[in-house]
Structures are given as C-alpha cells and as structure tokens.
Amino acid sequence: MFIDLTLPIDSRIPVFPGSPVPKISQFATIDADGWNEKLLNFTSHFSTHIDAPKHMIESGKTLSDYLIDSYIGETILFDVCNQPIIDVDVSEVKSGDIVFFFTGHSKHIYEKDYFDNYPVISESTIQKLIKKNISILGIDSFTPDNEPYLIHKLLFSHNIRIVEQLTNLEQIHQKRFKCYIFPLNIANADGSPCRVVAEIENIDG
C-alpha cells in the first residue's frame, strides 16, 4: 500500500519568515474561458520540498545533477518524537539509504509558533549519517537545524539532499520501506516542491 507524505500546495501552508506569500488563484474557468486553469506563484522551497546543495553552496549540485532513480530508494524511519535535540543510533543505516525523522512537528503546521519551537538534529548524528553515506535526509519539520544552518551545509558538502515538511509519518508502522520522491523538473534547481510517497507492506494482504 502507499502513504502520501506530502503536504498540499495551497494558501494555508505557512512560508518561512521573510519568504513571499504564495499566490494560488483561478486563472481561467469553464464558464468564462472553456477550461479550468490555476495560476501558481510560490518559491522553490514551498510546502513539502527537497533541497539541493545549490540551495546554500554556490558550486553545489542542482536537483537535475542527480539521476532520477536516486530519488527512489530504501528508507529507514526514526521515531524521534519528544527529542528537542535529535540523537539516534545509526547502526541499522545502510549506504545509500534515505533517512527520515518523525518528530511530530508537522501537526503544528497551522499554529502561530510553528517556526519558533522545533526539534533539531545533533551534529554528531549528522556526522555519523554522513559516514554511512546516506543519499537523502528527510524531516517532518521545516528544517533539521537553525541559523547559521551548519547541518544543511554539512549535508550539502557531501551531496546529501534534504526533504523538508514531510507529513503523515505517524501512519508508517515499520522501520524500513520504499520511498518515491519526485521533484518538479526545474532547470538549475536549488530546490523544488515534491511529491513524496511511501510504499509499505500491506499487513492485511
């Protein structure tokens, strides 16, 4: 079975302080034009999205510098709810894994302090994951760290991409699963909204 780990793209989704407010409007209607069409205006780091190294490293890779099959892979999920500073045992992590962190922070997305109180991943955990040669790190929050974003830069310097603002991770009740991450095919992209879907074992089947 499949579980959608993606937030909607709509005007309710908050943007990082200082980012432009998204504009999503009805550009054409069947009554007036003969068809329906929406006009979308938002940044490359809106809603559930993936960061490329180019996001913070000028000479870093863009999303299209990675093979498309590198966005699909075996994923390991860590339940780190109630850990303000995230530290985990990475012994089960394999080379090439996608690593997701379930913090529970996505349930606060429509609250006023969403950008004020959030968990961050310890540098020691990140260093251990880098040594494990992971491919992508994901979290159900808007960031794995805070300013000056040293965790971002550490991961990017090792060509590890970051997926932010995942949701529905509480619906996954197994440690490992297959995940599909599909960013938009934006030229020279420093990041992109993406659809993230988990394929898990159907325990009823």
pTM of the model: 0.96
Interval 141-158 mean pLDDT: 97
- Give the pLDDT of residue 204: 53
Q: Is 149 exposed, middle or buried (0-12, 13-18, 19+ CB in 10 A)?
A: middle
| Residues 123-133: tens digit of each pLDDT | 999 999 999 99
- State which fold the 2-199 domain adopts: Glucose Oxidase; domain 1 (3.50.30)
Nearest to 139 by CA among 88, 63, 202, 65: 88
Contact 76, 93 (CB under 8 A): yes
- Give the pLDDT of residue 205: 44
Average per-residue pLDDT for the chain: 96
| Residues 10-67: tens digit of each pLDDT | 999 999 999 999 999 999 999 999 999 999 999 999 999 999 999 999 999 999 999 9
Residue 140 has pLDDT above 60, yes or no: yes
The pLDDT confidence band at residue 203, using thresholds 50, 70 and 90, is: low
Interval 110-135 mean pLDDT: 97
Q: Is 140 exposed, middle or buried (0-12, 13-18, 19+ CB in 10 A)?
A: buried
Which residues fall within 8 angstroms of residue 20, CB to CB, at 6 or more apart? 41, 42, 43
Maximum distance among all Cα pairs of the chain, rounded to whole angstroms: 60
Which residues fall within 8 angstroms of residue 166, CB to CB, at 6 or more apart? 5, 6, 48, 100, 106, 138, 139, 140, 196
Contact 73, 189 (CB under 8 A): no
- Give the pLDDT of residue 201: 85
The pLDDT confidence band at residue 172, using thresholds 50, 70 and 90, is: very high
